[in-house]
A and B are shown apart, each in its own frame.
Chain A
Amino acid sequence: MKRISIKITGAQGQGINSVGELLAKGLKRAGYCVFGYREYMSLIKGGHSSYQLDVSDEDVRSTETEADILVCLDHYGLARDVGSVKSGGILLHQTPQWSFPPAMQERLQDKGVQVLYLPSEEILRSLKAKPILGNILVTAAVWRLLRHPADGLKELVRKQFGKKGKEVLEQNFACIDEGFKYVGQERDRVVLPPPNVQWKECLLLTGSQAMGLGIVHAGCRLYAGYPMTPSSPLLSFVADVQNETGMVVKQAEDEITAAQMMSGAMHMGTRAVTATSGGGFDLMTETASLNAEIENPAVFIVAQRPGPATGLPTWTAQGDLLLAVGSAHGEFARIVLAVSDAADCFSLMPEAFNLAEEWQTPVIVLTDKQIAEALFTQAPFGLPKTECRRGKLVVDPRKLARLRSDDRYDPHAKNGVSLRWLPGTKAATYCAQGDEHSADGTVDESAENMRLQMEKRMRKVEAIRKALPEPELYGGSSFQLFGVREDVSCDILLVSWGSNKGVILDALSELTTNYSLPTTHYLHYTYLWPLKTERLEKLMKKAKKIVLVEQNHQGQLGMLLKMQCGIDIPHKILKYDGRPFFIDEVTQRLIPFLQAKKLKS
């Protein structure tokens, strides 16, 4: 598989995102799979940020540490990021009269890096164009380096800025022509493989946008949130489409409010959601516990970033798995699941609501900064299969008429799930009681009742564990998804969850192409609590080695597995520096575990 990477760096607010998004869209429409990755600091302007696109004609779901083309919009990035160009790559910059220190100059020469200067200021001045058009100029230069015809870019610009009038459009086109002129004579250094039309029809969107679409698709009608990176882009997206969706979107006064509004709306009988990051979820946990006691469906989205405390607000982590599993006081059933990419973000949201309603208990959906803000090339979401399952919700008037108040929390209900019906429906009434209660919601402090109601609610745990899907197994020549009955023996089993899926599968493909490997499979946990271990236990009997991959310090999934079934995974690839796993990094760290041998090319 041939992949290339383009990295744009500069000061925040300088247009990195515009260049990145324009290039990404252009490349996707030209028939490439694009994976976009953003790094930025927790401030509005200034600071240093980057936007990287990894591009291929085949599926690409990860980022490389070094780029084939590095574009530096400012001199700070030029000095700082110069080391991240690959051998034989290109460095494009727009800083006049720039020269590297001699040692660096030599290193660049040794690496065969070509340094190109784009005199943007001069060109813009001669065109009498506004500084913002520098973004178009840079985009055009990169477009030319990739040997794409100008027409494609012009078409894209026409669609994007056509509404701003003829004059603006013509200035844009002039910039494209100039950008092309400046790099016109360079030889082909960075060559893309031939395009594949399958990507043209795909969507290019962030995990947050996919998750927002999933929420809308699920029939969720109220979103209550409080801004906190990296959950904020989800709030923004859902808010941006509210006039089309008719949803109620409430920016609440704090996370507790957001969680309570979601709970109230769910109790009344609609579907509602709240989203936050770890710190905000800390504030929501008392509400999670309340929902468990009143057996109210609830959906919390937790977008992870490094902690403790404010940690690194704009960077990524998987440090909140134990928080999700162990949060909130008292013992109760909760479901924890984690998305891994845009496809999951969309398709698991309806499932999260279904599970919340079927089991009448909190569902916590884990995502992270990497998923929330990465750009995915995603096949258009398949719509017909989605179900809306509402569990034991009674809505039929005849059935409602037969209900008794003490059906609501009937302690003898199968699997602990009793009938649920909604305020405002003509039936016997009950109290959704946060104190320990008897079957109709009457406060009951007796030992007998406490025991019965605890057992009722906790029966859900085992029943949920049985009902949830096993982790997914990927293997075979192209690391495709295996069916549950297809389990075959493997030498090495990798175990992970969340956003690591894409980079692990990309690394395994890369290793298979260039190395001789033992049979290696990847076991991906989507449903993390209650934890299923049967498939893992079966696979590990045959596997020679199991390797845990996580973005946290303790190997939290490993800890849960050990707690749940006594399995100890001694081999771990852990990362906790706020950066996601990069493909070359995972490849290098896997090699010793796999004892992979490089094939002769």
Chain B
Amino acid sequence: MKEYHCANQCTWCDGCGDYGIWTAIKRALSELGIAPWQALLCYDIGCHGNMSDKLLGYRFHGLHGRVIPFAAGAKLANMRVPVLAFGGDGATFSEGVGHLVHALRSNYPLTFILHNNGNYGLTTGQASAVTWQGQPMNASPNGIPEHTLNSMDFIFSLEPTFVARTFSGDIPHMTRIFKAAIEHQRHGFAFVDVLQACPTYNRFATHRYLLERCYDANAEGHDAGHFQKARARAMDTDKRIACGVLYQRTDIPNFYDRLVPRQGKTTMLVEEVDVVDIRALLKPFL
């Protein structure tokens, strides 16, 4: 894991869930034998994005809400490089929600890790689409008038091929889930919802709250191959919150493998950059 070590000091608040996620992602990559030069880690904007210079590996830190299409373009260009995209609940369910919809239906060969702390932390605690309705927040002192987005219902409605949930307070569990999500990349889009404590701005779903409710559904014999059961279990968060690999299927080809022009190609797009003889394409114009 120390191959990912970077001298820059973390700048997150004490007790922030990002510390755990940061540790678990390094551990997952390391345990999978992926060297820092072999992977591309893409970060959105938000507190989680401040991880981009706190570990090694090829990294990218882009625009708010836009990490998924950048990561997808990068992955399609070189399928041999594991590409991970990280985003917060603010960016993912508001500014960039369209990208999430199309990433799921496209089944891009990507691992997406949602830092879900229920608010916009970096901009000092505004409500996100998954903040509880009625919860007073910065810029909504009376609580938000909008309905809270049922994120898991939404994700399952888009027929995902991999859905997992984990908790920022459980590093071994996160490591296991991240590894499974990285390995799912060859099958398509892996969505990982990391329930994350925000000690500064999230006073409702706190570390303790999550700690008390999260349980490993896989350990309780959850059938990750059953869509309806997985969906119901993922959405039922009233008393207990199911974590683990909640749903996975590997029988649908990923986006790249569906592309007719790429069938049978052994080279990657990055290896094909050179002047191309187009004379064979001129015939229709003569």
**Taking each of B70, B260, B265, which has the highest tally of chain A beta carbons within 10 Å of its own beta carbon?**
B70
Question: A221–B272 contact, CB under 8 A?
Answer: yes
B74: CB under 8 A from chain A? yes
Question: B286–A203 contact, CB under 8 A?
Answer: yes
Question: B275–A246 contact, CB under 8 A?
Answer: no
What are the interface flags for A383-427 relative to B under an 8 Å C-beta threshold, 1 for contact and 0 otherwise?
A: 100111010000000000000000000000000000000111111
A361 CB to closest chain B CB, in angstroms? 16
Question: B59–A272 contact, CB under 8 A?
Answer: no
A233 CB to closest chain B CB, in angstroms? 14
- Give A432's nearest chain B residue, CB to CB: B60
Question: A424–B276 contact, CB under 8 A?
Answer: no
A574: CB under 8 A from chain B? no
Q: How far is the CA of A250 from the CA of B37 in the complex (A)?
A: 28
Question: A424–B66 contact, CB under 8 A?
Answer: no
Selected contact of B78 from candidates A242, A268, A294, CB within 8 Å: A268
* CB within 8 Å of B: which A244-281 residues: 244-250, 252-254, 256-258, 260-272
Question: B53–A242 contact, CB under 8 A?
Answer: no
Question: A252–B69 contact, CB under 8 A?
Answer: yes
B40: CB under 8 A from chain A? yes
Q: Quick one: given A204-B285, A260-B73, A429-B59, are A424 and B80 in contact (CB under 8 Å)?
A: yes
B151 CB to closest chain A CB, in angstroms? 19
Contacts of A241 in B (CB 8 A): 281
Contacts of A426 in B (CB 8 A): 37
Question: B277–A383 contact, CB under 8 A?
Answer: yes
What are the interface flags for A316-357 relative to B under an 8 Å C-beta threshold, 1 for contact and 0 otherwise?
A: 000000000000000000000000000000000010000000
B233: CB under 8 A from chain A? no
Selected contact of B77 from candidates A222, A249, A257, CB within 8 Å: A222
Question: B59–A268 contact, CB under 8 A?
Answer: no
Q: Quick one: given A219-B276, A442-B53, are A260 and B69 in contact (CB under 8 Å)?
A: yes
B259: CB under 8 A from chain A? yes
Question: A265–B77 contact, CB under 8 A?
Answer: yes
- Give A385's nearest chain B residue, CB to CB: B275
Q: How far is the CA of A221 from the CA of B265 in the complex (A)?
A: 13
What are the interface flags for B228-260 relative to A under an 8 Å C-beta threshold, 1 for contact and 0 otherwise?
A: 000000000000000000000000000010011
B220: CB under 8 A from chain A? no
Q: How far is the CA of A367 from the CA of B66 in the complex (A)?
A: 27
- Give A296's nearest chain B residue, CB to CB: B60
Q: What is the total number of residues of chain A having a CB less than 8 Å from a CB of chain B?
A: 72
- Give B6's nearest chain A residue, CB to CB: A442
Q: Quick one: given A203-B282, A264-B74, are A431 and B59 in contact (CB under 8 Å)?
A: yes
What are the interface flags for B50-70 relative to A under an 8 Å C-beta threshold, 1 for contact and 0 otherwise?
A: 101100111111110010011
Question: A386–B275 contact, CB under 8 A?
Answer: yes
Q: How far is the CA of A155 from the CA of B286 in the complex (A)?
A: 14
Question: B282–A260 contact, CB under 8 A?
Answer: no
B101: CB under 8 A from chain A? yes
Question: A268–B40 contact, CB under 8 A?
Answer: yes
**Taking each of B101, B270, B285, which has the highest tally of chain A beta carbons within 10 Å of its own beta carbon?**
B285
Question: A217–B275 contact, CB under 8 A?
Answer: yes
A26: CB under 8 A from chain B? no
What are the interface flags for A423-456 relative to B under an 8 Å C-beta threshold, 1 for contact and 0 otherwise?
A: 1111111111111010001110000000000000
Selected contact of B73 from candidates A217, A264, A428, A441, CB within 8 Å: A264
Question: B275–A218 contact, CB under 8 A?
Answer: yes
B176: CB under 8 A from chain A? no
What are the interface flags for B267-283 relative to A under an 8 Å C-beta threshold, 1 for contact and 0 otherwise?
A: 01110111111111110
Q: Quick one: given A221-B77, A248-B262, A383-B279, are A261 and B53 in contact (CB under 8 Å)?
A: no
* CB within 8 Å of A: which B193-238 residues: none
A593: CB under 8 A from chain B? no
Question: A270–B269 contact, CB under 8 A?
Answer: yes
Contacts of B282 in A (CB 8 A): 203, 213, 380-381
Contacts of B37 in A (CB 8 A): 424-429
Contacts of B173 in A (CB 8 A): none
Question: B40–A245 contact, CB under 8 A?
Answer: no
Contacts of B58 in A (CB 8 A): 423-424, 429-432
B91 CB to closest chain A CB, in angstroms? 13
Selected contact of B269 from candidates A222, A252, A381, A388, CB within 8 Å: A222
Contacts of B273 in A (CB 8 A): 219, 221, 269-271, 388, 390
A3 CB to closest chain B CB, in angstroms? 22
- Give B50's nearest chain A residue, CB to CB: A443
B270 CB to closest chain A CB, in angstroms? 4
Question: B61–A434 contact, CB under 8 A?
Answer: yes
Contacts of A244 in B (CB 8 A): 280-281
Contacts of B81 in A (CB 8 A): 268, 423-424
A283 CB to closest chain B CB, in angstroms? 11
Contacts of A271 in B (CB 8 A): 273
Selected contact of B61 from candidates A209, A270, A432, CB within 8 Å: A432
Question: B8–A442 contact, CB under 8 A?
Answer: yes
A481 CB to closest chain B CB, in angstroms? 24
B266 CB to closest chain A CB, in angstroms? 11
B61 CB to closest chain A CB, in angstroms? 5
Selected contact of A253 from candidates B39, B98, B274, CB within 8 Å: B98
Q: How far is the CA of A404 from the CA of B191 in the complex (A)?
A: 34
Question: A429–B57 contact, CB under 8 A?
Answer: yes
A118 CB to closest chain B CB, in angstroms? 29
What are the interface flags for A460-497 relative to B under an 8 Å C-beta threshold, 1 for contact and 0 otherwise?
A: 00000000000000000000000000000000000000
Contacts of B45 in A (CB 8 A): 434
B102: CB under 8 A from chain A? yes
**Taking each of A246, A258, A263, A287, which has the highest tally of chain B beta carbons within 10 Å of its own beta carbon?**
A246
A510: CB under 8 A from chain B? no
B72: CB under 8 A from chain A? yes
Question: A219–B275 contact, CB under 8 A?
Answer: yes
A418 CB to closest chain B CB, in angstroms? 16
Q: How far is the CA of A13 from the CA of B280 in the complex (A)?
A: 31
Contacts of B77 in A (CB 8 A): 221-222, 264-266, 268-270, 272
- Give A269's nearest chain B residue, CB to CB: B270
Q: How far is the CA of A180 from the CA of B259 in the complex (A)?
A: 48
- Give B38's nearest chain A residue, CB to CB: A424
Q: How far is the CA of A246 from the CA of B273 in the complex (A)?
A: 12
Question: A265–B276 contact, CB under 8 A?
Answer: no
Contacts of B70 in A (CB 8 A): 260-261, 263-264, 267
B71 CB to closest chain A CB, in angstroms? 6
A243: CB under 8 A from chain B? yes
Question: B98–A265 contact, CB under 8 A?
Answer: no
Question: A424–B53 contact, CB under 8 A?
Answer: no
Name A's B-contacting residues (CB within 8 A): 201, 203-205, 209, 213, 216-219, 221-222, 224, 241-250, 252-254, 256-258, 260-272, 286-287, 290, 294, 350, 380-381, 383, 386-388, 390, 422-435, 437, 441-443
23 A-B residue pairs with CB within 8 Å: A204-B285, A217-B276, A222-B76, A224-B73, A253-B98, A256-B69, A257-B99, A260-B70, A264-B77, A265-B77, A268-B269, A269-B273, A286-B63, A380-B279, A381-B278, A423-B58, A424-B80, A425-B37, A426-B37, A431-B52, A431-B61, A433-B53, A434-B63
Kindly list 4 other residue pairs between chains A and B, CB separation below 8 angstroms, not including A294-B62, A383-B277. A257-B98, A260-B66, A383-B279, A429-B59
Name B's A-contacting residues (CB within 8 A): 8, 36-40, 42, 45, 50, 52-53, 56-63, 66, 69-78, 80-81, 98-99, 101-102, 256, 259-262, 265, 268-270, 272-282, 285-286
